[in-house]
Structure 1
Amino acid sequence: MTGTALQLGLDTFGDITRGSDGELLSAAQTIRHIVDQAVLADELGLAAFNVGEHHRREFAVSSPEIVLAAIAARTSGIRLGTAVTVLSSDDPVRVYERFATLDALSAGRAEVILGRGSFTESFPLFGYDLHDYEVLFEEKLDLFSRLLTEQPVTWEGTTRAGLADADVFPKTEGGLTAWVGVGGSPESVVRTARYGYGLMLAIIGGPADRFRPFVDRFHRSLETFGHGPRPVGIHSPGYVAETDQQSWEEAYEHFEVMNNTIGRERGWPAYSRLRFQHDVGPEGALYVGSAETVARKIVDTVTMLGADRFDMKYSTGTLPHEKMMRSIELYGSVVAPLVQDMLASH
């Protein structure tokens, strides 16, 4: 770890949820619920709240910065970011401008987690060729890194018009915090270190210990590139209820819906109870269970990887708003203190 206390945050992709009548809610109502969920997270003293960007029917949020601006107006302490901003199909200048504006509205609480995204709908939607997948991210990350200096930028690339001594506004009061979301590619880890960003590991399948070599590579690469310590974060799905059994019963059908929806597109086998029980166990990437079970698994993971932050993706599939609110309440009021106590006793 970088020496700071572990931070606990929450992530949501704005999954379209079901109401009390079992019918799917509108995207508009889902977005309003996200704001309420963030307000609760802030009241509980959690460190961060991150909203994902997607452009497909299962998710309500395509413009996370607007949602985060609404949250900023109703919160006071929690850091506000994305999970992730799909930089490849966006413009780095506009991304900087939007987050600098969010930083002003939130009094310095804005963060951006940059990534290539796990879906590709945004590429044709905004006129980008998937054949340029790698070069789009590389060039745009380079430009964004220069914009973060908040000095005039001169830049040339192949994926957008160059800049000559361009000054971008508004300026922030204390700089903008930026991370890169990485799914486990060694090249992505090295690139993140080269630009001096924080590393946010998306651990959504398999045992967490397989990411230890990536963390070690990240720290070695930071030294090679002459950067000081940078934080390591973890993003993983989870759900908290009063008991393990209750959490499993309440969460399973919604994990099943989401996995099967995406799986039909990607050729995955049908999700099953057996797979779910493996995923919630010690070797799986789901943090689903009672507060004590989830806290213990978080501690095991962050200790193994030397992480500075753990963000639980609390929304999955059609999980109802009321269930998510209770999960957030338990995460903030019970899991968080347990995690800090367990870490202190290590």
Structure 2
Amino acid sequence: MELGVGMFGDLHINSRGEIQPAQQRLQEIIEEIKLMDEVGLDFFGIGEHHRPDYAVSTPEIILAAAATVTKNIKLGSAVSVLSSSDPVRLYQSFATVDLISNGRAELMVGRGSFTESFPLFGYDLQHYNELFEEKLELLLQINKQPNVTWKGKFRAALENQQVLPRAVNDALNIWVAVGGTPESVVRAAKHNLPVIFAIIGGNPAQFKPLFDYYKQALDHFGHSTEALQVGVHIHAFFGENSRQIADDYYPTYSTQMNRVGRQRGWPAYTKQQFEQGRSPQGHLIIGDANEAVDKILHMHAMFGLTRFSAHMDVGGPSHETMMKSIEIFGTKIAPKVREALRK
């Protein structure tokens, strides 16, 4: 099982409502990715957003910069909003990152949990599902061959157009991020694509039927499940002392949950929800190394995971605490998980 970190590039917002400068956060992110590589984590993913509380709108730029200061870690998006992107340009960008990084680039596509990119790039939200379907088909065709002939509804046709540059091994590893709908699972299975489930609420065991459904759908479409790639994306933060890191991180985490929740009509986030999430049956992995190891291994056994992604910057915690959390993940959690899986 691969162990890594996902981020959205959250900017810290202080009690006066002042937003951290994006320039500062971007430089911190590069330092954090460099540390991930140094402590031996397997992958890093960064999300795409077009909002004032996030620093990153173009994941591929961050990944290209990170490629020059890292040696081994895989570098990908988490996610690229395919519905409002041009698949030709998206492939070109990530193929370029792949060349710079000597074959370490990945592309994770999704429909996005926020919708600002649609009006920004001139797309109609009424076509939310159709856009993703069509653009995924084109992206996968580009990924298979350099010369593309294609016609769709939302983009100009391509007639034997050559898409360059090509990735190191010609094709990129493309993941699909899903939020928990059967339709998304079937779509990924139809194209024989690896999936990562974002589990950001409730008991992770509730997702077991979707994991099983994904495997059944792969079989239905005639794809082998022997080389299955499946992962989870979980809100996580690590410290030396479980109670202390939970108490320290709660104000930052709850403020962000309420900030997003107000826009979506959610009720106020409570300390009880936070503690329930941290419980053995909860969806949060916020605590010490031993708690994290137990939860990660439990989810591996339950889902048959090949990838675990710790979403570690929710709310914009300080750079210092981020670096400590990454260090603990790489030096204390990852070795114990790997050792247990070897037995």
Give the TM-score normalised by structure 2: 0.96
SS in 2 for 1:268: coil
Quote the residue 1:314 is aligned against.
312
Per-residue deviation, 1:226:
2.6
Once the two structures are overlaid, the 10-residue window that deviates more, 53-62 or 170-179, is 170-179
Q: CA deviation at 1:151?
A: 3.3
Q: Which residue of 2 aligns with 1:183?
A: 179
Shift of 1:157: 1.2
Match of 1:75 among 58, 70, 76: 70
Residue in structure 2 matched with residue 230 of structure 1 by the alignment: 228
- The answer to whether the aligner puts 1:203 opposite 2:228 as a matched pair is no
What is the deviation of 1:149?
0.5
Regions of 4+ moved over 6 Å? none
**Whole-Å Cα distance in 1 between the matches of residues 147 and 31 of structure 2?**
39
Q: Which amino acid aligns with 2:236?
A: G
Cα offset, 1:10, TM superposition: 0.3
Q: Residue 54 of structure 1: SS of its match in structure 2?
A: coil
Superposition deviation, residue 97 in structure 1: 0.4
Q: Deviations over 1:231-256 (max 9, x none)?
A: 00111110000111012112101111
Consecutive unaligned residues in structure 1, runs of 5 or more: 1-5
Which residue identity does 2:29 align to in structure 1? I
- The amino acid that maps onto 1:104 is L
CA contact (8 A) 2:30 2:62 kept: yes
- Residue 27 of structure 1 pairs with residue 25 of structure 2: no
In the alignment, does 2:117 pair up with 1:122?
A: yes
What secondary structure, in the 3-state scheme, does the structure 1 residue paired with 2:253 have?
A: helix
Cα deviation for residue 23 of structure 1 reads: 6.1
Q: Secondary structure at the residue paired with 1:283?
A: coil
Deviation at 1:208, TM superposition (A): 1.1
Residues 1-346 of structure 1 correspond to what in structure 2 (within 5 A)? 6-17=1-12, 24-174=19-169, 175-228=171-224, 229-345=227-343
- Which one-letter code corresponds to 2:180 in the other structure? G
Deviation at 1:318, TM superposition (A): 2.9
User: What is the rounded CA distance, in whole Å, between the counterparts of 2:260 and 2:74 in structure 1?
Assistant: 30
Equivalent pair of 1:199/1:230 in contact (CA under 8 Å): no
Which secondary structure does the structure 1 equivalent of 2:76 belong to? strand
Question: Structure 1: how far apart are the matches of 2:282 and 2:52?
Answer: 28
Deviations 1:203-241 (A, max 9, x none): 111111111111112122222223233300111110000
Partners of 2:342 and 2:72 in 1: CA distance: 24
Q: Give distance in 2, aligned partners of 1:230 and 1:129.
A: 35
CA contact (8 A) 2:176 2:193 kept: yes
Residue-pair matches, total: 339
Partner AA of 1:188 in structure 2: S
SS in 2 for 1:148: helix
Residues 230, 148 of structure 1: CA spacing in aligned structure 2 closer, same or farther, 3 A cutoff?
A: farther
Q: Is the 8 A contact 1:17 1:321 kept in 2?
A: no
Alignment partners' CA distance in 1, 2:306 and 2:316: 30
User: What SS does the corresponding residue of 2:197 show, helix, strand or coil?
Assistant: strand
TM norm structure 1: 0.95
Distance apart, 1:18 and its partner CA: 5.9
Give the Cα separation in 1 of the matches to 2:127 and 2:239. Answer: 43
Q: Deviations over 1:148-185 (max 9, x none)?
A: 10232221211111212221001122121110000111
Q: How far is 1:267 from its partner?
A: 0.8
Deviation, 1:316, is: 1.2
Alignment-mate amino acid for residue 140 of structure 1: K
Counterpart of 1:315, as a letter, is D
Q: Is the 8 A contact 2:95 2:168 kept in 1?
A: no
Q: CA deviation at 1:25?
A: 2.3
1:53-76 CA distance string (max 9 Å, x none):
000011000011001100000000
